Structure formats: C-alpha cells, structure tokens
Chain A
Amino acid sequence: MSPDLLRAYLLGQASPEDCAAIEERLFADDTFEALLAEAEADLLDDWARGRLTPADAALIPQRFPKPKRDLARALLLAAKPRRKPLHPQRWALLAAAALLLLAVALFLRPGPPRVLIAEIRLQQQATRGTNPPLYRMQAGRRIRLSVPKLDDGFLDWKLQIEPGAPIAAEVANGRVFADFDLPDGRHQLLVSASRTSGGLLELVAVYPFELRRDVLQKSPLEK
C-alpha cells in the first residue's frame, strides 16, 4: 500500500474499500501496523514543518490528540539549533547598540521610506494536485500578504515565509497581514497563532502561492 493511501486513511480521507483493506491488514500483520504508525509520525512531522496542504493541515487537530501534535512540534524544535538565553548585561549592551544604530539610520536615511504598492489577498484553498495561484506584479517592490483570520480563539498571529523567521502580524477587519520582501518563485505562507498571549504557536493555515514580477506590465493588484 502506498504512503499516500496510508496518509489518506489517517486523515479520514480514504474510500470505504481502502479503509476495509487497511484495517484487515492492521489486524493481520504486525509489520503493517508499524508502517501505519510510521506514516502517522511522518504525517505529524510534516504538519509541524508546515508541509501539508491547508485542507490536510486543518484535519490534523480533529484527527490527532494534542500530545501527539506537541511531540511533533517539540521534535522539530529539538532538531534545530537553539539560541542560549542572553545574560542581562549583554541584553543591556545590545539594547544600547540597537538604539545607536536606529539613531544613525534615522539621521542617514537615504530618501523616502520604501512604499508598499501591492497587496495579495490569499484565500484559503485546497491545493492538492493543482498549481498554486500565481500573482503578478510590478518589479522591485515590497508586498503585503493578507489572509482571512480563520479563528477568533487565537491571539498573537504570526506570518512566516520559510526560510525566514515568523513575524508578528497586524489584525484588522477580520484579516491578518504583514509586509514581506520576497523573490520571484514559489512560496508558502505559514500562518501561526497562540491561544494565550506568549503561548505555544499553533500552525493555523498554509497558503502556497507563486510570485512573478513583470517589468513592463502593471499589475492589477497595484493600488
């Protein structure tokens, strides 16, 4: 049985015939049980990394209990190098250095600030088997990515385009948005939030999309 089929079963998306075949093997074959358990672990690890489609990612909290999801997220964090907490004295030095840099930057600021000219409003969608939506715009400008606020129970929304770090998002009029400098190509916007202020971030949605800048053609998305 293919990994895709096992994954579909675990997400509750397999056909009744496939479910019956999988369940019969589960009871008859211990090696198959281990394969299914591994498919479960890999599925949760992919979810923690933001590698699932939005439709599949949305099923994870309904299908798997919190301890399994916590473990997948913790293993992902454990595999990444972690920064050591800074000594208070070093914090003070860094803060002073940051203030100095800010003062220099304001004094030496070359010309007007960069202007945001395009906003992409990403809609939640299932992308299984299809290309991500393509957004075209004028070259060389920043963009604002905006997505619907899917759940009112969350606080501290963060948006992230890998490999960049998550950035704090603004929330207004039922939408979550942030500005990015992005190269052309395919990207995935990861939307995370926590249920309590400063709490553990949960992946809420993933939006794959493709960005292409045209030098001559003016984008209809430009304001």
Chain B
Amino acid sequence: MTKDGLDRLLALLSADPERAAELYLHLQRKLTRYFEWNACANAEEFADEVMDRVARRVAGGEAIQSPVSYVLGVARRVLLESKSKMLLLPLEGDVGAVEEPTQEATLARLDDCLASLPPESRAILIEYYSAESGERIRIRQEMADRMGLTANALRNRCLRLRRNLEECLQKRAAGDDHVA
C-alpha cells in the first residue's frame, strides 16, 4: 500500500486522523473475522489484500459513498477470487507436519493457560462455556444477574477470555513443538 493511498483512505474514513486510524483498524478486524468465518486459513492476509485494493482505488480517484459497504463489496470479490483460484486452503494445514498432541498434553497446556488467569475469571469462563445447549440462555442470564452485568457485557468478557485462552494454547503448543 502506498503512503498516498493510505492517507487518502484514512481521510475518507474520517477527517480526524486519530478517529480515522481507529476506523481503519476496526475495519481490518471485521475483515479478518469475515474471512475466518468463511473458512479462510490466512484470514489476516486476505484482510490486508482488501484494504490494499480499496486504498489503490481511492488513490486512483474512485468516488466512494459508503466506505464500509465498499470494503465489504471488495471483500466478497476477494473471497470469490480465492475460491476460483483454489486458494481457499483446507484448514487441516498441519496434517502430517506436526504430530497430534496427546489429550494429556493439551490438558496440561490448558491448565497452564487457565492458571495464568485470575481465579474469578477462570471460574467464570468454565461456568459460561460448560452449559449444555438447552440451558445456555438461562444459566448465562443467571450468571449476568448474579454478577450485576448485562448479558452483552458478560458475553464480551467471556469471548475475550476465550480468545486469550486460544492464543495462549497456540503459543504453548508452538513452544512445545519448538522444544521437541
């Protein structure tokens, strides 16, 4: 992405440079989620590709009324192209490369990662995600009431904890592989 392209794209997002930078990162995060949820193994690269294309078009003088809709349109095209080029990689990219961890190894890593959380967060995470499907709404609402939170606030907290845990497991697995 050229500096001119980036500057023009940021100016399109907001006249306030700080706000423009926030919106840029926000859009990039949404794009990454979009590609993840469309089974793309390299979602962040696809998100960068979309922002590059949009910046090039803005720099080329293309008039864009709604940046968010435009970005989504470009993302759909990139996804379509990736499918037609067979770049939509199967997510089993690690088959044959790394030996499957044993259940004990995964559990040991999880224990380490859970131990790095404050006890209260650990208990919340386990309770929130251990509910069976028929009871999830009730149990989660009861948890939110007990903690004095809205259901949305509790959801966001648990999603953050789960994402941190996933990153921790990945890091520890990579570390173990490196040691092995």
> Residues of A at under 8 Å CB distance from B?
9-10, 12, 23-24, 26-28, 31, 33-38, 40-42, 45-46, 49, 51, 61-68, 70-71, 73-79, 82, 194-196, 198-201
B91 close to A74 (CB less than 8 A)? no
Assembled-state Cα–Cα distance A105/B16 (Å): 83
A62 partner, pick from B37, B91, B109, B166, beta carbons under 8 A: B91
With A46-B133, A199-B100 as known contacts, state yes or no: A27 contacts B162, CB within 8 Å: no
Is there contact, CB below 8 Å, between A79 and B30?
no
A66 touches B133 (CB 8 A): no
Closest beta carbon of chain A to B82's beta carbon, Å: 14
Most chain B beta carbons < 10 A, residue from A27, A51, A79, A195: A27
Is the Cβ of A10 less than 8 Å from the Cβ of B91? no
Q: Which residue of A26, A28, A51, A198 is within 8 Å of B34 (Cβ)?
A: A26
Q: At the interface, yes or no: B18 with Cβ under 8 Å from chain A?
A: no
CB contact between B99 and one of A31, A33, A77, A196 (< 8 Å): that residue: A196
- Asked if B84 CB lies within 8 Å of chain A CBs, one says no
* Contact among A38, A61, A71, A195 for B169, CB-based, below 8 A: A71
State how many residues of chain B have any CB contact under 8 Å with chain A: 46
**Besides the contacts A78-B126, A195-B100, what 12 more A-B pairs have beta carbons closer than 8 Å?**
A12-B38, A23-B72, A24-B72, A33-B30, A34-B152, A34-B155, A37-B159, A42-B133, A68-B166, A70-B106, A78-B111, A200-B100
Instruction: Please indicate the chain B residues that have their CB under 8 angstroms from the CB of A75 in the complex.
Output: 110, 125-126, 129-130
* Contact for B129 among A41, A196, A200, CB less than 8 A: A41
**Does B170 touch A at the CB level, under 8 Å?**
yes
* CB contact under 8 A between A62 and B30, given known A71-B169, A200-B106: no
Q: Are B94 and A66 in contact (CB under 8 A)?
A: yes
Does B148 lie at the interface of the complex (its beta carbon under 8 Å from any beta carbon of A)?
Answer: no
B9 at interface (Cβ–Cβ under 8 A)? Answer: no
**Chain B residues proximal to chain A, CB less than 8 Å:** 27, 30, 33-34, 37-39, 41, 68-69, 71-72, 76, 90-92, 94-95, 99-103, 106-107, 109-111, 114, 125-126, 129-130, 132-133, 136, 152, 155-156, 159, 162, 165-166, 169-170, 173
Q: How far is the CA of A78 from the CA of B94 in the complex (A)?
A: 24
Closest 4 CB pairs of A and B: A79-B130, A74-B110, A199-B100, A65-B91
Q: Output the residue of A23, A63, A76 with the most chain B CB within 10 A.
A: A23
Q: Are B166 and A200 in contact (CB under 8 A)?
A: no
A-B contact pairs, 21 of them (CB 8 A): A24-B72, A27-B30, A27-B68, A27-B69, A31-B152, A38-B155, A46-B133, A51-B133, A62-B91, A63-B39, A64-B39, A65-B41, A71-B166, A71-B169, A75-B125, A75-B129, A75-B130, A77-B107, A77-B110, A195-B95, A199-B102
Q: A63-B91, A66-B91 are contacts. A74–B39 as well, Cβ < 8 Å?
A: no
Once the chains are docked, how many angstroms separate the CA of A33 from the CA of B34?
Answer: 10
Which residues of A sit under 8 angstroms from B152, Cβ to Cβ?
31, 34
Query: In the bound complex, what is the Cα–Cα distance between A61 and B90 (angstroms)?
Result: 9
Closest-CB distance, A141 to chain B (whole angstroms): 32
CA distance A68 to B173 in the complex (A): 13
Contact (Cβ within 8 A) B136 A42: yes
Task: Contact check, A198 vs B136: say whether CB atoms are below 8 A apart.
Answer: no
